[in-house]
């Protein structure tokens, strides 16, 4: 049974067939899905899917690209959801995105909102789901301040050195369809070095469809491709990778 630890079913690309698609997952060996939120609205939607489907869990948070002038009151809603909804298992996705944000003041703002959400995770004793795009050094610096807080770096794109630092801090690393692309050399090096008990698989649907589905709308139906690819890189059985990455996700997100 596979665990897609990161998929955005709130996306409008699922409006046509969301219910049919989600309902079909267990029959396709996708036994667990975690839907992170990116702002108040999508966090609420994530919670509603988790309430509807027994195999879906939610995370709530403000994504670095979705910070607006009301972020402080948004955070109060995020906190309330995380405290009152038992199917919220993490704060996320949160982090830094310097690929889309070039302005120094806006980047400083992202750091403040990220740190506030790390603080919230510590206070509520929940793991975090970190989005780190072209912001490796600053992400590392902020998570170091919250030693003891667990979490996952989703769609990990850092170096092997950064991977080792995160492993030392207790983090998991998760990988998307990027690892199935031809130019994925760095991620493959990281996967080779990281012990399997700290890896997770994810689709980041509807984005990042793996080969041979690249360019299509992604969904948890394709998460098996990440398990297969990790198995290939590590010279292991895909079934073993599937079992262990699922256990890792269950352990991190407190799912029995």
Query: Contact residues for Zn ion (CB under 5 A)?
Result: 204
* Spatial distance between the Cα atoms of 132 and 33, rounded to a whole number of angstroms: 21
- List of long-range contacts for 40-45, beta carbons under 8 Å, 24+ apart: 40/74, 40/77, 40/78, 41/10, 42/8, 42/10, 43/77, 43/78, 43/81, 44/81, 45/9, 45/10
Closest CA to 138 of 174, 119, 116, 112: 112
Q: Which residue has the CB atom at the shortest distance from Zn ion?
A: 204
Could you tell me the smallest distance in angstroms from the CB atom of residue 236 to Zn ion?
27
The smaller minimum CB distance to Zn ion, of residues 117 and 236, is found at 117
The smaller minimum CB distance to Zn ion, of residues 99 and 160, is found at 99
The smaller minimum CB distance to Zn ion, of residues 48 and 160, is found at 48
* Spatial distance between the Cα atoms of 131 and 243, rounded to a whole number of angstroms: 25
CB environment 145-177: b (16+ within 10 A), e (fewer):
ebeebbbbbbbbbbeeebbebbeebebbbbbbb
The token pair that represents 45 in the structure block: 């939607």
* Spatial distance between the Cα atoms of 31 and 118, rounded to a whole number of angstroms: 29
Output DSSP code: residue 196. Answer: G
The smaller minimum CB distance to Zn ion, of residues 85 and 204, is found at 204
The token pair that represents 208 in the structure block: 């990042």
Could you tell me the smallest distance in angstroms from the CB atom of residue 51 to Zn ion?
21
Could you tell me the smallest distance in angstroms from the CB atom of residue 38 to Zn ion?
7
Other CB atoms within 10 Å distance of the CB of residue 141 = 12
Could you tell me the smallest distance in angstroms from the CB atom of residue 175 to Zn ion?
13
Could you tell me the smallest distance in angstroms from the CB atom of residue 157 to Zn ion?
13
The smaller minimum CB distance to Zn ion, of residues 148 and 214, is found at 214
Could you tell me the smallest distance in angstroms from the CB atom of residue 213 to Zn ion?
18
Could you tell me the smallest distance in angstroms from the CB atom of residue 90 to Zn ion?
12
The smaller minimum CB distance to Zn ion, of residues 123 and 223, is found at 223
For 153, phi then psi, to 5°, come to -90, 115
The smaller minimum CB distance to Zn ion, of residues 97 and 204, is found at 204
Tell me if residue 248 falls in helix, strand or coil: helix
Other CB atoms within 10 Å distance of the CB of residue 221 = 18
């Amino acid at each position: 049974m596979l665990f897609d630890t990161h998929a955005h079913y709130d996306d409008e690309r699922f409006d046509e067939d969301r219910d049919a698609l989600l309902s079909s997952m267990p029959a396709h060996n996708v036994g667990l899905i975690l839907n992170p939120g990116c702002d108040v609205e999508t966090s609420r939607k994530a919670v509603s899917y988790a309430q509807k489907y027994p195999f879906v869990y939610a995370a709530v948070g403000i994504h670095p690209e979705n910070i607006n002038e009301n972020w402080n009151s948004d955070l109060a809603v995020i906190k309330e959801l995380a405290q009152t909804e038992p199917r919220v298992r993490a704060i996320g996705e949160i982090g830094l995105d310097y690929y889309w944000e070039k302005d120094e003041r806006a980047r400083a703002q992202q750091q403040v909102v990220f740190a506030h959400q790390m603080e919230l995770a510590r206070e509520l004793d929940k793991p975090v789901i970190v989005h780190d795009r072209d912001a490796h050094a600053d992400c590392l610096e902020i998570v170091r301040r919250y030693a003891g807080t667990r979490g996952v770096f989703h769609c990990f794109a850092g170096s092997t050195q950064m991977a080792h630092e995160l492993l030392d801090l207790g983090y998991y690393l998760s990988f998307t369809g990027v690892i199935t692309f031809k130019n994925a050399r760095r991620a493959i090096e990281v996967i080779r070095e990281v012990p399997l008990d700290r890896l997770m698989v994810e689709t980041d649907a509807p984005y990042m469809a793996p080969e041979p589905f690249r360019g299509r709308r992604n969904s948890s139906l394709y998460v098996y491709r990440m398990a297969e690819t990790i198995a290939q890189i590590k010279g292991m059985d895909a079934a073993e990778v599937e079992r262990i990455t699922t256990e890792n996700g269950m352990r991190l997100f407190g799912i029995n």
